[in-house]
Structure 1
Amino acid sequence: MPEFADLVLRLISATVSGALIGFTRERIQRPAGLRTHALISVGAAFITVLSIFAFFDGETGDPGRVAAQIVSGIGFLGAGTILKKGFSVKGLTTAATLWVTAAIGMGFGAGEYLLSFVATAIVLLIVVVFKRVDIFAGKGNKRTVTIEMHKKHAMEKLTEELEKLKITPLHIEIETDEDNINFELVISSEDYKILKKNIVEFASIEGIISMDLGD
């Protein structure tokens, strides 16, 4: 069994890596932030350490049995961060970072320091640098707004207010149910700024139930 100091270092390394990943989510106001990712990482590391050294004596026991449950368990936690409202599905990236953070924690728990640090660096590259690549590719120039309204005269009232603010949607999708209607509007960043500036007036349109301005 490794020295106690080495086991402590595994837990600390897992905590730091999880916190770094969580910080990237915290700064953009995601529900699972620094503390959540740090806890998941150190928890996965601790369970892995126990699985290897406490539940296996070198001859009897299965060192992977307990640790294997981390993968399925974190899947349920990640699923809780995914939200579908109307057309939009949100939280997929957060769920993915939770899952990979648990994997990194397991790596540190198994003593694979270098590999785990490399995985942490790759995750940070993806969530920070790749987001800027999205913007450069044009994705950042568009924003999605989801609006839920009562059916009666919904389209006319919405169109009237958009014309008043001189907002021209690039794309509109509509989903209806028995009583309400959901609009998903893809608009330019400039129009998005106009909408946010006039959000109180816009939200006061008769029939609006809820609005989601996205990120």
Structure 2
Amino acid sequence: MEYLDLSLRLFCALVAGALIGATRERIYKPAGLRTHSLICVGAAFITVLSTTVFVTAEHGDPGRVAAQIVSGIGFLGAGTILKKGFSVKGLTTAATLWVTAAVGMGFGSGEYLLSAVVTVFALLIVLFLKRIELFIGGRNLPRVLIVAENSQETSTKVSEWFKDNGLTVESMEIEEDDEVLSLLIELSRGDALKVKNIMVGLSTLKGVKSAELR
């Protein structure tokens, strides 16, 4: 019976990690389904070992080994954060990895209900809060980060695209080298939802390597 319960804890952690990871996989983030699943079930397994195998009636601290998960995931999450010029990527991915590990620890310790609630909260955050943030104008004005070929033709096409789609450019930051041009364009608050719906068109412009709504 004990092994059945421990196996159930690991299985629940696997499912929770897979659900969270699937939300990142669908938008092509570097840490997706497999990464989150492995982290969650791994954290659960370490917690199980910490509370059962490494502790006896005479000695042992049940939280000693499991506590190292927090710092370990911190290092792993830090590796997903990248900064290039004015662009910072990976903060949300690092946060979801950290929460996923916490969920795994919860299931590993046998807190099924509480861990399930946190899993639902995490899913709600990554699925819906982005839309709410855009709707209420969070993080000041909406911004579009464009990476393109460094040419006058490409710059002209990008400028014309914003004008043709009726988008108001409030400010623009430019960073360039011999081959790559990075543009951080800040739009008016009322354009947040509009630009989100037409971003695909911007990505297909000749010379544009990537376009991302910040």
Relative to the length of structure 2, the TM-score reads: 0.80
For residues 4-153 of structure 1, what are the structure 2 equivalents within 5 Å? 4-138=3-137, 142-147=142-147
In angstroms, what is the RMSD of aligned CA positions? Answer: 2.8
Question: What code does the residue aligned with 1:196 have?
Answer: S
Task: Provide the rounded CA distance (Å) in 2 between the counterparts of 1:24 and 1:180.
Answer: 31
Residue 206 of structure 1 corresponds to none
Shift of 1:85: 1.7
Call closer, same or farther: CA 1:162–1:107 in 2, change over 3 Å: closer
Stretches of structure 2 lacking an aligned partner (at least 5 in a row):
none
Q: For 1:150-205, what per-residue CA distance to the aligned partner results, in whole angstroms no more than 9, with x for missing partners?
A: 6xxx7x666544445464633212357899874322355177454334x22x34xx
Shift of 1:35: 1.2
Comparing 157-166 and 45-54, the one that deviates more: 157-166
Residue 185 of structure 1 corresponds to 185
Task: Provide the rounded CA distance (Å) in 1 between the counterparts of 2:127 and 2:181.
Answer: 35
User: What secondary structure does 1:95 align onto?
Assistant: helix
Question: What code does the residue aligned with 2:203 have?
Answer: K
Residue 170 of structure 2 corresponds to 170
Given the alignment, which residue of 192, 198, 202 partners 1:195?
A: 202
Call closer, same or farther: CA 1:67–1:196 in 2, change over 3 Å: same
Shift of 1:15: 0.5
Question: What code does the residue aligned with 2:123 have?
Answer: L
Task: Provide the rounded CA distance (Å) in 1 between the counterparts of 2:159 and 2:129.
Answer: 35
Question: Is the Cα contact below 8 Å between 1:14 and 1:104 reproduced in 2?
Answer: yes
Call closer, same or farther: CA 1:163–1:18 in 2, change over 3 Å: closer
Q: For 1:57-110, what per-residue CA distance to the aligned partner results, in whole angstroms no more than 9, with x for missing partners?
A: 022122211111100111111112111122111111111000000001001111
Question: Is the Cα contact below 8 Å between 2:203 and 2:210 reproduced in 1?
Answer: no
Residue 207 of structure 1 corresponds to none
User: What secondary structure does 2:174 align onto?
Assistant: strand
Question: What code does the residue aligned with 1:27 have?
Answer: R
Question: Is the Cα contact below 8 Å between 2:17 and 2:33 reproduced in 1?
Answer: yes
User: What secondary structure does 2:212 align onto?
Assistant: coil
Q: For 1:9-41, what per-residue CA distance to the aligned partner results, in whole angstroms no more than 9, with x for missing partners?
A: 000011111111111111111111111111100
Call closer, same or farther: CA 1:185–1:65 in 2, change over 3 Å: same
